[in-house]
Chain A
Amino acid sequence: MEPTTAAAKPQFSPAAQAEIKRLLTHYPDDRKKSTLLPVLHIAQAEFGGWVSPEVQDLVAETLGLRSIEVYEVSTFYTMFNLKPVGKHVLEICRTGPCMLRGSDELTAQLERITGAKVGETSPDGHFTLKEVECLAACGFAPVVQVREKYYESLDTEENVDAMLSELKSLVHRPILPWEENGLPTSLQNK
């Protein structure tokens, strides 16, 4: 991931700008702030899986909000990563139903395989491990979410291996729904 410096002010890609424009039409004209959560999701996807203060300032500027209005929201919701992350963030569900079907063991296994502890990024930069609360997939426990994908029934070695090799084979992040023409060139083959 590219370090965000004050010198390189982040900019949304044209595809993301178009998506934000579409989202703005969903809410009354005097209620643009409603677009904040969807736009934070776009920002996180565009800028390496986390939202730096500079990226949050960009969100504020884009929506005509004060920066503090973005900070207070980004720090409330658990999906927004406020520190740099690896290429793939493994969000491991730790809540009761997943625990009953072995999420503790899964976490230990993923820590062993990736070499990262929960809250850390693996030395190769591939994986960040993050524990999360219930993902609403309790019948298919244990569960890990990576971006917009759920990996379920991770109580077998095969399923865990399949998840990790699928993720490792991704050279760059998957194409996001608003990127009709594929990834912006700046993000290709990183």
Chain B
Amino acid sequence: MGRKLLTEHVNVEGIETFAVYRKHGGYRAVEKALKMTPEEVVEEVKKSGLRGRGGAGFPTGLKWSFLAKPEGVPRYLVCNADESEPGTFKDRYLMSKLPHLLIEGMIAGSYALGARTSYIYIRGELLYVLRILEKAIAEAYAAGFLGENIQGSGYSLDLHVHPGGGAYICGEETALLESLEGKRGNPRNKPPFPAVQGLYARPTVVNNVESIAAVVPILNMGGDEYAKIGVGKSTGTKLFSACGHLNKPGIYELELGVPVEEFIYSDEYCGGIWKGRELKAVVAGGSSVPILPKELILKTAAGENRLMTYESLSDGGFVTGTMLGSGGFIAMDETTCIVKNTWNFSRFYHHESCGQCSPCREGTGWLEKVLHRLEHGHGSMHDIDLVVSVAKQIEGNTICPLGEAAAWPVAAAVRHFRDEFEWHVTHPKEATQPGAVYRGNLVMA
């Protein structure tokens, strides 16, 4: 059993209240930070090697150090709590169970960045979590950890929670900022980056919920100690949300480096595939990352054990590897139709495209339509190449990464399961029977 830095006290009765959270060591990181200079706090986070937990994996300390600091101009820390990547449900869990952990991270982070007002942008569907956070924030104000002159340090901070309105695109940081300004969630052209012109055109850092929460254990134990956990450049612990055809779906905090096979099959974690079935494929880091067949998710192409780390999961690039992404781990058993699943994901991206860039607006619609045709037995062999070609033409040609997010799953599905797509073309009658699934690749494996 690995160390738990974020969720150690998650099952303590009343941990969502200030008093109980404080009794279990809460707000020590803030007290520690306020005795350091802001630069020293940034330095600790840099030393920790913490990489953004929202999906991109960009080093958090480095992101903080890019923040422009013009004299007399307010700057902002904005927490991205717009968790909407299919397969990802860790932030909802963290915020509803441990609201004070996020608030503590927000105070320490805001102090490090010199922000005097900070926002938590939470997806609109999670209004009930917004209520939990608002209650916890009121407690933190009452205890002197928010507001004027926090704990007599001279540092003041206001923290607010802001709901979205239902739009996956607002997880993209510049779309999130537009939305926070009361507009449609259309991503902005970059540069300028948010670090220079973010919220209200002022310097802004946008960080994922889990990244901000991780600042708390980093300050408590020190960046160097945190960096000792994990493997290589994958330091610390990470929350993985496991779903799909598993015996024990749920949220697991792992020291980075647990073998994928252990994560899926060990009773300590997901407990294997449900109903005694075989694993067919895994989407390891949220719906946007390439799907891998069983053989390639358990072992790399070179035959090494695949680990739950940024590097190991991306070993082999997009040919035989995938990405750690957001930690949304979707397991599919042998009865899963990959064509149907790919069509479902494409429908999602088409639905969620903001419509600004033609390649994405039109391309995601094409993908959905052609995949629907293939799934329903009306496709041709040409259609299989067509979806790959459309995906390629979306990729890299859009303002924001939703284009890539829509393209990658399709390209990977055809790459690894082409025979299943072809079977839908050659055997339309069989393929459209309810519950029918192509099993050729499993026989071969």
Chain A residues with CB under 8 Å of chain B are: 26, 28, 31, 33-38, 40-41, 69, 72-73, 76-80, 94-97, 99-101, 132-141, 145, 148-150, 177
Contact = CB atoms under 8 A, between A and B. Distances in A.
A9 to B, nearest CB: 23
Interface of B: 83-89, 91-92, 119, 123-128, 131, 158, 160, 162-168, 179-185, 200, 241-245, 249-251, 283, 287, 328, 330, 332, 336, 340-341, 344-345, 348, 351-352, 354
Contacts of B287: 95-96, 134
Contacts of B91: 136
B268 to A, nearest CB: 16
A78 to B, nearest CB: 4
B265 to A, nearest CB: 17
Given A37-B164, A77-B165, A148-B127, A96 B87 contact: yes
Nearest to B168: A133
Query: Among B85, B124, B352, which residue has the most Cβ atoms of chain A within 10 A?
Result: B124
Contact of B243 (A28, A35, A76, A97): A97
B348 A133 contact: yes
A99 B182 contact: no
A15 to B, nearest CB: 15
B128 A100 contact: no
25 contacts: A26-B119, A36-B182, A37-B164, A69-B182, A73-B165, A78-B165, A78-B167, A79-B124, A94-B344, A95-B345, A96-B283, A99-B344, A100-B332, A132-B166, A133-B86, A133-B168, A134-B84, A134-B87, A136-B84, A136-B89, A136-B92, A136-B126, A138-B249, A139-B89, A150-B128
A138 B246 CA distance: 12
Given A79-B165, A138-B89, A139-B249, A37 B351 contact: no
Contact of A73 (B180, B183, B344, B352): B183
A136 B126 CA distance: 9
B405 to A, nearest CB: 13
Contacts of A72: 184
Contacts of A145: 125
Contacts of A34: 162, 180-182
Contact of A99 (B158, B160, B180, B341): B341
Contact of B88 (A69, A76, A79, A136): A136
B166 A134 contact: no
> Closest 8 A-B residue pairs measured CB to CB?
A77-B165, A79-B166, A33-B182, A36-B182, A138-B243, A139-B249, A78-B166, A26-B160
Nearest to A45: B127
Contacts of A150: 128
A25 to B, nearest CB: 9
B244 A134 contact: no
Contact of A41 (B160, B163, B243, B328): B163
B344 A77 contact: no
Contact of A133 (B126, B127, B160, B351): B351
Contacts of A136: 83-84, 88-89, 91-92, 123, 125-126
A40 B241 contact: no
